Amino acid sequence: ADTGWGKAVWGNLYGQWIAGTGVFIYDYDRFNGIKLLEKIIEYKVDTFCAPPTIYRFIIKENIEGYDLSNLKYVTTAGEPLPPEVSNKFYELSGLRIKEGFGQTETTLSIGTFIWLEAKIASIGKPSPLFNLELLDEDHNRVEIGDEGELCFKLEDGPNPGLFKDYVNDEEKYKKQIHDGYYHCGDTAWVDEDGYVHFVGRNDDIIKSSGYRIGPYEVESAVLSHEAVSNCAITAYPDEVRGQIVKATIILQPGFEPSDELTKDIQNHVKKVTAPYKYPRMVEYTDEIPETISGKTRRVEIRENDQKKN
């Protein structure tokens, strides 16, 4: 993790120090998936964690034949991992990438811990430190399989894994912590086995013609098309539907934008997921805005769309 990310502290330093293990640091000016793998092999790194973007870059490289046998445990956090990325990495390494969820305010609160089997498209189960409940807009607990906001119940006050407050911003604190809960501001659902499935940031959920559409499922569908290298799914204002699904796409080398390709990608998404979730608007680009931690800045895409209008 980049050292500008909170996870670099609680995920790459403190935990390892407490466990008494070594930390391998690789500094580079420009990311190169092949060079990273070569370092992992050369120095026999056995535990690796990176945001989904890094795994996407790695599987796009020609890494057939690389000996990854020294890797024993691979994890990810920051954003949901597309299933096709998880499956491809499994084919190459024999390892399932274990997902987790955490915020700067919470550290790792939900994860596929070492005692859990990884489940595709799930961020795992709640940490013993966190009493997770999914709440609807009326503050009621939702049923298994239904979507709700990720909230942590504070029965005995703040727990050791939760932040104390926002510096000089009491208003924001009250917005996040109220009625006995810490509100993450994220939507998810829990399956019958207790695994949590992330849907998206509340602000990123697309509301189109009465449907609530999470961006990650659509992104996974778009990314599974052979022409797509990377993509971001966002809401775009629409007078009839309220919002429509927009896909901002970076193409693989050898592919060029065209109406025919756009139609093919749209039809592909309709087959992979529910037809109503397909991107009605497609924009091709050479770069998708990201945070320093590798997360897609969907808010920046939405803001730029508003300026165009």
Report the DSSP pairing between strands 132-135 and 228-238: unpaired
192 and 215 fall within a common domain: no
Buried-exposed string 23-46: b where 16+ CB fall within 10 A, e elsewhere? eeeeeeeeeebeebbeebeeeebe
How far, in Å, CA of 55 to CA of 60, rounded? 9
How buried is 81 (Cβ within 10 angstroms: 0-12 exposed, 13-18 middle, 19+ buried)? buried
Q: How much is the mean pLDDT over the chain?
A: 89
223 and 193 fall within a common domain: no
Q: Comparing 137-141, 207-211, 221-225, 276-280, which segment has the lowest mean pLDDT? A: 207-211
Confidence of residue 293 (pLDDT cuts 50, 70, 90): low
231 and 287 fall within a common domain: yes
Q: Which long-range contacts (CB under 8 A, 24 or more apart) does 110-117 make?
A: 110/150, 110/196, 111/75, 111/77, 112/75, 114/73
What does the pLDDT read at residue 99? 95
Query: What are the tens digits of pLDDT across the range 32-85?
Result: 888 999 999 999 999 998 888 888 888 877 777 888 899 999 999 878 888 888
Mean pLDDT confidence for 207-211: 87
79 in a domain, yes or no?
yes
13 in a domain, yes or no?
yes
175 and 253 fall within a common domain: no
226 and 304 fall within a common domain: yes
CATH number of the CATH domain containing 69: 3.40.50.12820
How far, in Å, CA of 135 to CA of 8, rounded? 30
83 in a domain, yes or no?
yes
90 and 176 fall within a common domain: no
Asked if pLDDT for residue 240 goes beyond 90, the answer is: no
DSSP per-residue codes, 42-79: HTT--EEE--HHHHHHHHHS--TT---TT--EEEE-SS
Strand partners, 136: none
pTM for this predicted structure: 0.82
Q: Which of 121, 305, 135, 96 is nearest to 214 (CA)?
A: 121
Which has the higher per-residue pLDDT, 248 or 85? 248
280 and 226 fall within a common domain: yes
214 in a domain, yes or no?
yes
The domain of 156 spans 127-198
Asked if pLDDT for residue 142 goes beyond 70, the answer is: yes
Asked if pLDDT for residue 12 goes beyond 90, the answer is: no
State how many domains the chain has: 3
54 in a domain, yes or no?
yes
213 and 247 fall within a common domain: yes
How buried is 143 (Cβ within 10 angstroms: 0-12 exposed, 13-18 middle, 19+ buried)? exposed
What would the 3-class secondary structure string for 191-240 be? CCCCCEEEEEEHHHCEEECCEEECHHHHHHHHHCCCCEEEEEEEEEEECC
135 and 89 fall within a common domain: no
214 and 254 fall within a common domain: yes
What does the pLDDT read at residue 1? 63
Of the chain, the percentage scoring pLDDT greater than 70 comes to 97
Mean pLDDT confidence for 20-25: 89
190 and 250 fall within a common domain: no
How far, in Å, CA of 28 to CA of 36, rounded? 9
275 and 209 fall within a common domain: yes
Buried-exposed string 109-137: b where 16+ CB fall within 10 A, e elsewhere? bbbbeeeeebbbbbbbbbbeebebbbbee
Q: How far is CA 117 from the centre of its chain?
A: 19
111 in a domain, yes or no?
no
Query: What are the tens digits of pLDDT across the range 162-179?
Result: 888 899 999 999 999 999
Mean pLDDT confidence for 231-260: 93
106 in a domain, yes or no?
no
115 in a domain, yes or no?
no
CATH number of the CATH domain containing 288: 3.30.300.30
Integer CA distances (angstroms), 20 to 17, 109, 111, in order:
5, 22, 21
How buried is 281 (Cβ within 10 angstroms: 0-12 exposed, 13-18 middle, 19+ buried)? middle
Q: Comparing 20-24, 62-66, 100-104, 256-260, which segment has the lowest mean pLDDT? A: 62-66
Question: What is the C-alpha R_g of the chain?
Answer: 20
Q: Which of 163, 180, 198 is the last residue of a domain?
A: 198
Query: What are the tens digits of pLDDT across the range 84-131?
Result: 889 989 988 899 999 999 888 888 899 999 999 999 999 999 998 899
Asked if pLDDT for residue 202 goes beyond 90, the answer is: no
Q: Which long-range contacts (CB under 8 A, 24 or more apart) does 22-26 make?
A: none
CATH number of the CATH domain containing 158: 2.30.38.10
What does the pLDDT read at residue 260? 96
